[in-house]
């Protein structure tokens, strides 16, 4: 923003020089496949190639060279500066004691030791937002390896950063939505949400025709045939506010706004205070009240550290605009699943994207604009 404003305002770059991020295919930035400059090369590997690479890397370095040493050496051989050392020595005695115990035991196999080593390092790692590229890669590798050791299955996990000249935005066509809720189930499957508590990021509100937007009288938990006579539907989820109140309040910076406008959470850094939940005016956040469970064969193995990787109990989560998909040039799962085409997603900085077309040609509005949160989620009607 060039000139100083008294209030916060979403900067869509409308006044900026345009074109650097556009690809001229006339579609959403993500859809055309010509974005070869995407930073994460991982997605272009085939699954087998990837698994082989992971296997090689992990077996070569981590496992073999480290399991030769005994447990204490393993733990204290890791290069530490004073800060890390202090961290390791003070906090979380319980977990630490458990890890030392297993890694010291003579009878424990190499795998057990490796697991303990990974748990130990994961417990005391830093905040993802502040990690260097190498540290990010290291934690991702540990998580992949940990899953392999525990479940004997391979997952892919990306740590792709935001690309330049991308700002994600979303539009919802109220006249098209029929309340089928395909988006809801696609979201649950894509993002590995807890099946026991039936956690859902998206809520579809069923409202009566002719009465306007009366959210308080709407039904957001219906079980009947849709579209119901005389009703219309409106979906809500995290709106990825450009001035997100949830981010300001977090005491440990476990949640933040990325360069491409996504508001994300580091599940391993979150302490579960739920202050962000109280601060969100849009009911965008969900908490893991107990350990989230997903049946093994339903786990989506294409993951992102900030997105749909497996969560633990006592941490916050929410919609990430499917960061594992959107940063790989795909549409979020809800957009793809919607049979009516009510959901539109794309790059707000790309003047040729569909979302920009909608914003420029339709009468769009956002919810609770008076709060100054600047959601990047617009509603419109045909």
Partner 1 sequence: METIKAFMSMVKDSLGYITHGSRTYHIWMIFLTVIMLIGMYCYSIQLDEGLSVTGMTDRVSWGLYISNFTFLVGVAAAAVMLVMPTYVLHDIDFKQAVLIGEGLAVAALIMCLAFVVADMGGPSVLWHMIPGIGVFNFPNSMLAWDVIVLNGYLFINISIPLYILFRHYQGKEAKASVYIPGSILSVLWAVGIHLVTAFLYEGLQARPFWNNALLGPRFLASAFAAGPALIILVLAAIRKFSEFRIEDKTIKKIAMIVTVAAQINLIMLISELFKEFYAPTHHSESAYYLFFGLEGKTALLPWIWTAIPLNILATVLLTFHKLRNNLNVLYFCCFILFVAIWIEKGFGLIVPGFIPGPYGKIAEYTPTWIEIWVTLGIWALGAFIFTMLAKTSIGIELGKLRYRKKEVLDSESV
Chain residues binding partner 1 by CB under 8 A are 83, 86-87, 90-92, 94-95, 123, 126-127, 130, 197, 203, 205, 214-218, 220, 236, 245, 248-254, 268-275, 277-283, 285-291, 312-316, 371-373
Pick the closer one to ligand SF4 by CB: 208 or 366.
366
Q: Binding to ligand SF4 by residue 238, rule CB under 6 A?
A: yes
Long-range contacts of 83-86 (CB under 8 A, 24+ apart): 84/124
The residue within the footprint of ligand SF4, chosen from 88, 115, 304, 318 (CB under 6 A), is 318
**Mask for 75-94, x = binds ligand SF4 (CB under 6 A):** --------------------
What is the rounded CA–CA span in Å between residue 32 and residue 42? 18
Shortest spacing between CB 112 and partner 1, in angstroms: 21
Evaluate the CA torsion angle 186, 187, 192, 196 in order and state its sign. negative
Is cis: bond before 227, omega within 30 of 0? yes
Alpha-helical (H) ranges within the chain are: 47-57, 64-67, 71-77, 82-90, 93-104, 110-123, 133-151, 182-190, 245-249, 275-279, 323-326, 333-337, 354-361
Shortest spacing between CB 317 and partner 1, in angstroms: 11
Q: Binding to ligand SF4 by residue 322, rule CB under 6 A?
A: no
The residue within the footprint of ligand SF4, chosen from 75, 188, 218, 241 (CB under 6 A), is 241
What is the rounded CA–CA span in Å between residue 296 and residue 289? 20
DSSP string, 43-79: GGS-HHHHHHHHHHHIIIIIIHHHHTS-HHHHHHHS-
Q: Are 371 and 357 in contact (CB under 8 A)?
A: no
Q: Binding to ligand SF4 by residue 332, rule CB under 6 A?
A: no
Q: Binding to ligand SF4 by residue 250, rule CB under 6 A?
A: yes
Q: Binding to ligand SF4 by residue 288, rule CB under 6 A?
A: no
What is the rounded CA–CA span in Å between residue 280 and residue 263? 12
**How many chain residues bind ligand SF4 (CB under 6 A)?**
28
263 binds, among partner 1, ligand SF4, none (CB under 5 to 8 A by kind): ligand SF4
Pick the closer one to partner 1 by CB: 20 or 196.
196
Pick the closer one to partner 1 by CB: 99 or 355.
99
Q: Binding to ligand SF4 by residue 146, rule CB under 6 A?
A: no
Return the CA Rg of the chain.
Answer: 23
Selection from 192, 222, 155, 167 nearest residue 20 by Cα:
167
Q: Binding to ligand SF4 by residue 261, rule CB under 6 A?
A: no
310 binds, among ligand SF4, partner 1, none (CB under 5 to 8 A by kind): none
Pick the closer one to partner 1 by CB: 95 or 310.
95
Q: Binding to ligand SF4 by residue 131, rule CB under 6 A?
A: no
205 binds, among ligand SF4, partner 1, none (CB under 5 to 8 A by kind): partner 1
Shortest spacing between CB 197 and partner 1, in angstroms: 7
Shortest spacing between CB 278 and partner 1, in angstroms: 6
265 binds, among partner 1, ligand SF4, none (CB under 5 to 8 A by kind): ligand SF4
Q: Is 374 left (phi over 0), alpha (psi -120 to 50) or beta?
A: left
Cα separations (Å) of 20 from 16, 292, 310, 340, 354? 10, 41, 35, 32, 17
What is the rounded CA–CA span in Å between residue 67 and residue 75? 11
Evaluate the CA torsion angle 164, 372, 307, 237 in order and state its sign. negative
DSSP string, 267-332: TTT-----HHHHH-TT--EEE-SS-----GGG---EEETTTTSPP-TT-EEE--S-HHHHTTT---
241 binds, among ligand SF4, partner 1, none (CB under 5 to 8 A by kind): ligand SF4
301 binds, among ligand SF4, partner 1, none (CB under 5 to 8 A by kind): none
Contacts with ligand SF4 by CB under 6 A lie at: 238-241, 244-246, 249-250, 252, 254-255, 263, 265, 270-276, 280, 282, 284-285, 316, 318, 373
């Amino acid at each position: 923003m060039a000139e100083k404003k008294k209030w916060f305002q979403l900067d869509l770059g409308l006044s900026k020089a345009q074109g650097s991020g556009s690809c001229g295919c006339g579609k959403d930035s993500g859809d055309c496949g010509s974005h070869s400059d995407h930073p994460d090369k991982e997605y272009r590997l085939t699954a087998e190639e990837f698994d082989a690479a992971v296997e090689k890397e992990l077996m070569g370095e981590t496992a073999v060279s480290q399991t030769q040493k005994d447990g204490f050496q393993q733990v204290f051989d890791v290069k530490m500066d004073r800060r890390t050392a202090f961290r390791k020595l003070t906090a979380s005695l319980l977990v630490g004691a458990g890890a030392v115990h297993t890694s010291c035991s003579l009878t424990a196999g190499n795998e057990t030791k490796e697991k303990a080593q990974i748990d130990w390092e994961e417990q005391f790692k830093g905040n993802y937002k502040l990690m260097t590229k190498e540290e990010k890669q290291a934690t991702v590798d540990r998580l992949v390896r940990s899953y392999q050791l525990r479940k004997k299955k391979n997952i892919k996990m990306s740590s792709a950063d935001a690309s330049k000249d991308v700002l994600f935005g979303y539009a919802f066509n109220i006249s098209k939505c029929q309340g089928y809720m395909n988006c809801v189930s696609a979201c649950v499957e894509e993002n590995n949400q807890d099946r026991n508590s039936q956690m859902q990021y998206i809520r579809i509100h069923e409202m009566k025709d002719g009465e306007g937007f009366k959210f308080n009288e709407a039904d957001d938990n219906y079980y009947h045939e849709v579209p119901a006579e005389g009703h219309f539907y409106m979906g809500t989820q995290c709106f990825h506010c450009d001035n997100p109140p949830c981010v300001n309040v977090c005491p440990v910076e476990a949640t933040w706004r990325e360069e491409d406008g996504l508001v994300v959470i580091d599940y391993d850094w979150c302490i579960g205070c739920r202050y962000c939940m109280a601060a969100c005016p849009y009911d965008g956040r969900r908490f893991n009240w107990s350990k989230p469970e997903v049946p093994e064969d339903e786990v989506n193995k294409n993951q992102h550290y900030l997105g749909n990787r497996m969560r633990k109990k006592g941490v916050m989560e929410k919609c990430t605009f499917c960061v594992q998909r959107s940063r790989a040039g795909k549409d979020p799962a809800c957009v793809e699943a919607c049979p009516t085409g009510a959901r539109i997603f794309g790059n707000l900085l790309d003047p040729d994207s569909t979302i920009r077309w909608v914003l420029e040609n339709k009468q769009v509005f956002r919810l609770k604009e008076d709060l100054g949160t600047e959601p990047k989620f617009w509603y419109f009607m045909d």
